[in-house]
């Protein structure tokens, strides 16, 4: 059975492959995963798809982590924890690599924006949690999330490089 691809997937895949495989030595499985994640976040409403009890989008990283916790937080099950942690890993990777304007530069700032260090810590931790779901239907992709956790900083850098290429593509007049 053939699955339908997102119309932007070839574009995202080429841009991510150039930085991930060509410059940073990340593998094709990570490249494909991140390209699909970019497609997912390109759809309206998907960046802040995690909702609170009132149906409002959860935007604070600390609230997202609480929503993932099945013991002390609001996740109804460990399967829900995995899904929310996967989303948090994707969200932190996307924000750190593609949206530098959304990242706080100073750790002592009173801003509600996360710092790069917070995004990296929570992103690595979230992908690690997802990798620990390594049985039954999750067994085949657990290793991918373990590698994403281990190589999170390189994945962020690769997205930042891809972002620069996206900018050059849509703004050719700004090139020197």
Rounded CA-CA distance 151/98 in Å is 17
Rounded CA-CA distance 10/137 in Å is 27
- Give the pLDDT confidence of 4-34 residue by residue, as tens digits: 789 999 999 999 999 999 899 999 999 999 9
DSSP string, 110-164: --SSPBHHHHHHHHHHHHHHHHT--SGGGHHHHHHHHHHHHTHHHHHHHHHHHHH
| Cβ neighbours of 86 (radius 10 Å) | 20
Rounded to 5 degrees, φ, ψ at 116 are -60, -40
Rounded CA-CA distance 90/28 in Å is 17
- Give the pLDDT confidence of 118-135 residue by residue, as tens digits: 999 999 999 999 999 999
pTM as predicted: 0.92
- Give the pLDDT confidence of 84-114 residue by residue, as tens digits: 999 999 999 999 999 999 998 877 767 788 9
Here the tokens at position 153 are 């900083």
């Amino acid at each position: 059975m053939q699955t339908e691809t997102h119309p932007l997937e070839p574009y995202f895949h080429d841009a991510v492959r150039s930085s991930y495989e060509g410059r940073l030595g990340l593998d094709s499985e990570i490249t494909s995963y991140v390209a699909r994640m970019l497609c997912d976040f390109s759809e309206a409403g998907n960046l802040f798809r995690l909702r609170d009890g009132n149906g409002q989008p959860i935007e604070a990283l600390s609230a997202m982590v609480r929503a993932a916790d099945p013991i002390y937080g609001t996740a109804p099950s460990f399967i829900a924890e995995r899904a929310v942690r996967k989303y948090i890993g994707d969200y932190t990777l996307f924000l750190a690599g593609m949206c530098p304007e959304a990242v706080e530069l100073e750790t002592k700032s009173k801003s509600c924006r996360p710092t790069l260090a917070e995004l990296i810590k929570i992103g690595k931790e979230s992908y690690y949690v997802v990798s620990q779901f390594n049985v039954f239907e999750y067994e085949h992709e657990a290793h991918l999330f373990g590698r994403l956790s281990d190589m999170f900083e390189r994945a962020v850098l690769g997205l930042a490089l891809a972002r620069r290429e996206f900018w050059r593509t849509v703004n050719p007049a700004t090139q020197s």
